[in-house]
Chains A and B, each alone.
Chain A
Amino acid sequence: MIFALFVFVPVAAIVAFYVSQQHANALSSATGQRLHSRPQHHGMHSMLWVMLAGWGVLLVLTVLGETLIHRTLIGRVSDALPDDGPLQWNLVLSDARSIAQGTVASSTDMLREQIASSFSWMNATRLWGTALATIGAVAAVAWWTYQQITIELRARIYAENMIRRGLAVMATVAVLTTIGIVLSLIFETVRFFDAIDWQLHKFLFGTTWSPLSGVFEGEMDADKVGIVPLFAGTLMITLIAMLVAVPIGLFAAIYLSDFANQRVRAVVKPVMELLAGIPTVVYGFFAVITVAPLLRDAGKAIGVPIASESALAAGMVMGIMIIPFISSLSDDVINSVPQSLRDGSLSLGATKAETIRQVVLPAALPGIVSAIVLGVSKAIGETMIVVMAAGQGPNLTGNPLEAMTTVTVQIVALITGDIEAKTAAGPAFTLGFTLFVMTLLMNMLAQRLVARFREAYD
């Protein structure tokens, strides 16, 4: 039904377009006067209004209605089952929905039947109400714009202003997303810090991470929420990744931009793009299936025990993932160092290597540093490789051959774990907030560096 309404709106809008266009045409030929705006602008004017009103009403009523029904029914379920938690309530509600829709529910009882019948009539009311309101809004707005059509109506200007405003709204979606991220992260983070009485030093410098160990007592133990072990793991894996990615990516970029001929570039660039296009979950699989066993066997051969979920394996594979990132960004900046500088150096009798080391790289340095910073930020935020190939246990060690865990792994473990969502959300969102702030700072630093580079050479 909602979907039908969703499609109905543009259809109605197209009808409104033609009707208004015809009307404007007729008006013009009847009066013999020239319209201020062309007939299709009148049509467009009506069409835009109809779409705006129709979809607006539909969206607001759908979201409001769903939320209202959900809240009401959950309220009733929680009154009926005061001893159970939200997880159970949601289960009952989803069973009731299934019953109401005639599909298979996990179990049925009196309560579920009652809720189901309430849901049935509420949902029906909501659907019909939404339909009536949407159609009503569409009709009203169509009539209103139809009425407005006169010789003088500046329909084109109105329509174009609407389009401009619509475009501006679209441009702010990204901002809204950021605001959404920040608000949702901060909300839970503040709650989490409340739970540990704002002992931030214990969070930042504590060496034990086991935030859920006290959940059954309903307490968050401030001594067990230290993120140092997670940071140690994150930094260790990032370091290994960068040790792999920076030299390989940088040398590849240097070779591609200053030594390789067109043919080599035509082959190598797609290879790098391919590496960049491989989903991280595939890299994770690669780490688990190939790299980790390989390292373990190699370790065994030389008598060094390497854990099967070692930071080394995860870091190496993450490094491979970041190679194309570093190489393409560095390639860009190395290529934008003006040829005239290279010519100047070569004309003095410098070799290509000397030119690169002493002229090109110093000039490109801000750009390269920014590429590395972005690479680090990507490594810190990378999730799947470490979830699959690094450890789960917060292990504070300096040995990359052991299992270590990372901030992202812990977020996934907390949210997808068995612990009730409300309890796990605090530490998980706090970690997410930490991650967000770190990557944001790095990205801003990288952008500033690139801007400096661009200023010098563009």
Chain B
Amino acid sequence: MTDVKIKAKDVQVYYGDNHAIKDVSVEIENNTVTAFIGPSGCGKSTFLRCINRMNDTIDVCRVEGDILIDGEDIYDKRIDPVQLRAKVGMVFQKPNPFPKSIYDNVAYGPKIHGMSRNKAELDDIVERALRRGAIWDEVKDRLDAPGTGLSGGQQQRLCIARAIATEPEVLLMDEPCSALDPIATAQVEELIDELRQNYAVVIVTHSMQQAARVSQKTAFFHLGNLVEYGDTPKIFTNPEDSRTESYITGRIG
């Protein structure tokens, strides 16, 4: 059964005069971890940021083509990016907890979206998110401590919990482990695998091992083009395109 969550068609992205994404078409499935891999500067992060319109915050960035989530064009004029981003959560390369308490970090999203009617409900949401973020046990006794005081891996899981708290349907992760040590990376990878059960997860990674470990689908980007997209085992064992093969085997990158 294929359940397409995100469908991109002929997407072009320009940074000023620079054509950063060329003709990318891809279908991303629900309850799947999809990995975007490719050499740095290939456009994988740029494309990821298109999916929740984070590129809107950059003045010179222009997006063409269609990106549909559940059949709705997210670049339609009637779509409010604010609402879109509540549905499509994002986790960044560097953990970026707000300079607030752990509790407030997680409660921030639900609060602005008005997801709770009272403190008890909010407490509930926060606890659930922290549990799903697999960090509850570590922080349950110090929810009032500042989020910036946690270790790198904990911070990143806090950021994941923060993203989950708004109950998104898609979770975008932009190299979520690149700033973490191997142990924290393992914890986060484990978490990603669990998250797959509830979300469509898209992860950008520069590590092919990571892509192989956590993803079911893999897309290989090169110089702004989507070179190859398919089941992860196939991409890594039997790529169709020679460029993919060169990258996998370490000849470009």
Chain A interfacial positions (CB closer than 8 Å to B): 261-262, 338, 340-351, 354, 358-359, 362-363, 456
Contact = CB atoms under 8 A, between A and B. Distances in A.
Interface in B98-141: 98-100, 108-109, 112-113
A354 B96 contact: no
B82 A262 contact: no
A349 B84 CA distance: 7
Interface stretch (B87-95, B190-198, B242-250): B87-95
A344 B92 contact: yes
A338 B97 CA distance: 11
B206 interface: no
Contact of A363 (B52, B57, B87, B99): B99
B86 interface: yes
Given A343-B57, A348-B109, A349-B112, A456 B96 contact: no
A349 B96 contact: no
A397 to B, nearest CB: 43
A349 B163 CA distance: 10
Given A340-B96, A359-B98, A349 B57 contact: no
B98 A349 contact: no
A194 B54 CA distance: 68
B92 A348 contact: no
Contact of A348 (B94, B148, B163): B163
B86 A358 contact: no
B96 A341 contact: yes
Given A344-B96, A344-B159, A348-B86, 14 more contacts: A338-B96, A340-B92, A340-B96, A343-B96, A344-B162, A346-B54, A347-B52, A347-B54, A348-B89, A349-B85, A349-B87, A349-B166, A456-B99, A456-B148
Interface in B169-202: 172
A342 B57 contact: yes
A362 B100 CA distance: 9
B112 to A, nearest CB: 5
Contacts of A349: 82-87, 109, 112-113, 166
A35 B54 CA distance: 67
B17 interface: no
Given A343-B92, A343-B96, A358-B108, A351 B54 contact: no
Given A261-B59, A349-B113, A354-B112, A344 B85 contact: no
A356 to B, nearest CB: 12
A10 to B, nearest CB: 53
Contacts of B100: 362
A262 B98 contact: no
A346 B57 contact: yes
A432 B87 CA distance: 61
B89 A347 contact: yes
Given A348-B89, A362-B99, A343 B54 contact: yes
- List the 4 shortest-distance A-B pairs measured between CB atoms, nearest first: A349-B86, A347-B90, A340-B96, A349-B85
B96 A348 contact: no
A143 B94 CA distance: 67
Contacts of B162: 344, 348
A143 B143 CA distance: 78
A261 B99 CA distance: 27
Nearest to A258: B57
Contact of B98 (A341, A346, A347): A341
A42 to B, nearest CB: 55
A348 B57 contact: no
Contact of B166 (A343, A348, A359): A348
A346 B92 contact: no
Contacts of A354: 112
Nearest to A352: B57
